């Protein structure tokens, strides 16, 4: 059976669906519930359980979170409650759901979906996926293999944690035109290019649907392309990882 559940914990919504891990397609409607205010682990765990119950499917479960995840423990909290730092997330979800789960970083999950079914399919060498959203997430792949927990959104440029300067949220907060935002992104991708010499950048996040408004303005040597999935890549990648780990 190539079915798995993917649940994506985000800043505004928590989304889940059953995924066909062979094709990356969603096999059920996507359930989306609001992220509880404050984003505390207890409150989020309750919503995850609710989604799981609604999906009502006996299948492996993958959950992605906007945090570094090591051995099932969340280790950072850039845009979520500090209570996630050193929180035994996997253990907690397993207790609540009464079954094994896999917990991974949200950008890593999005990257897995792109590499398997989307813009990165069949691409060898070093591929860096970035997600432009509330923060900047990153996923690094070497010959298709994920190197987990890269946190390239927090690279400092000009003494600043750069996700605060160039995320989509920063664009909104500072009311930047696409031109001005692209200048900031230019600096960002130039820096990543200098540090890693990748073979490909994939740019994801909801705003990547408007890629033609900013990607062509970024002038770097490395090929840079939009992600193919918009809002479901976290769900698909988390499900994928759960299926492979079972």
Among 21, 35, 79, 232, binds ligand BGC (CB under 6 A): 79
Residue 78 binds to ligand BGC (criterion: CB under 6 A): yes
Picking from 116, 113, 117, 107, the residue whose alpha carbon sits closest to that of residue 205 is 107
Three-class secondary structure of residue 126 per DSSP: strand
Strands 13-20 and 31-34: antiparallel
Three-class secondary structure of residue 127 per DSSP: strand
Interaction residues for ligand BGC, span 155-194 (CB under 6 A): 163
Residue 35 binds to ligand BGC (criterion: CB under 6 A): no
Pick between residue 79 and residue 208 the one whose CB is nearest to ligand BGC. 79
Give the count of residues interacting with ligand BGC (CB under 6 A).
16
Residue 105 binds to ligand BGC (criterion: CB under 6 A): yes
What residue ranges in the chain does DSSP mark as E strands? 3-9, 13-20, 31-34, 61-65, 69-70, 73-74, 101-105, 126-132, 136-142, 145-147, 156-157, 160-161, 200-204, 223-226
Residue 64 binds to ligand BGC (criterion: CB under 6 A): no
Shortest Cβ distance from residue 154 to ligand BGC (Å)? 6
Three-class secondary structure of residue 165 per DSSP: helix
Q: Looking at 24-32, 39-47, 51-59, 133-141, which segment touches ligand BGC (CB under 6 A)?
A: 133-141
Among 66, 111, 234, 237, binds ligand BGC (CB under 6 A): 66
Binding string to ligand BGC for residues 112 to 131, with x set by CB under 6 A, is what? -------------------x
- Contact (CB, 8 A) for 110 and 139: yes
Residue 244 binds to ligand BGC (criterion: CB under 6 A): no
Residue 69 binds to ligand BGC (criterion: CB under 6 A): no
Q: What angle do CA 21, 23, 26 make, to 5 degrees?
A: 75
Pick between residue 59 and residue 105 the one whose CB is nearest to ligand BGC. 105
Q: What angle do CA 228, 123, 149 make, to 5 degrees?
A: 75
- Contact (CB, 8 A) for 69 and 105: yes
Residue 107 binds to ligand BGC (criterion: CB under 6 A): yes
Pick between residue 76 and residue 233 the one whose CB is nearest to ligand BGC. 76
> Contact residues for ligand BGC (CB under 6 A)?
66-68, 76, 78-79, 105-107, 131, 133, 135, 137, 151, 153, 163
């Amino acid at each position: 059976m190539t079915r798995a559940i993917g649940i994506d914990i985000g800043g505004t919504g928590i989304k889940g669906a059953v995924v066909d891990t062979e094709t990356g397609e969603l096999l059920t409607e996507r359930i989306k519930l609001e992220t509880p205010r404050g984003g505390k682990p207890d409150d989020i765990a309750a919503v995850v359980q609710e989604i799981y119950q609604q999906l009502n499917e006996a299948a492996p479960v993958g959950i992605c979170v906007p945090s570094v995840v090591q051995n099932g423990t969340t280790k950072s909290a850039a845009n979520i409650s500090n209570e996630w730092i050193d929180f035994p997330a996997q253990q907690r979800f397993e207790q609540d759901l009464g079954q094994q789960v896999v917990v991974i970083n949200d950008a890593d999950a999005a990257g897995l979906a792109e590499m398997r079914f989307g813009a990165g399919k069949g691409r060898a060498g070093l591929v860096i996926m970035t997600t432009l959203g509330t923060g900047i997430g990153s996923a690094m792949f070497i010959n298709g293999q994920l190197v987990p927990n890269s946190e390239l959104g927090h690279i400092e440029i000009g003494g600043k944690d750069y996700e605060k300067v160039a995320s989509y949220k920063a664009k909104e907060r500072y009311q930047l035109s696409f031109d001005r935002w692209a200048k900031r992104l230019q600096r960002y991708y130039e820096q990543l290019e200098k540090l890693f010499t990748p073979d490909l950048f994939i740019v994801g996040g909801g705003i990547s649907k408007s890629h033609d408004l900013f990607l062509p303005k970024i002038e770097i040597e490395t090929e840079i392309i939009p992600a193919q999935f918009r809002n479901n890549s976290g769900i698909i990648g988390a499900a994928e990882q759960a299926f492979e780990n079972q």
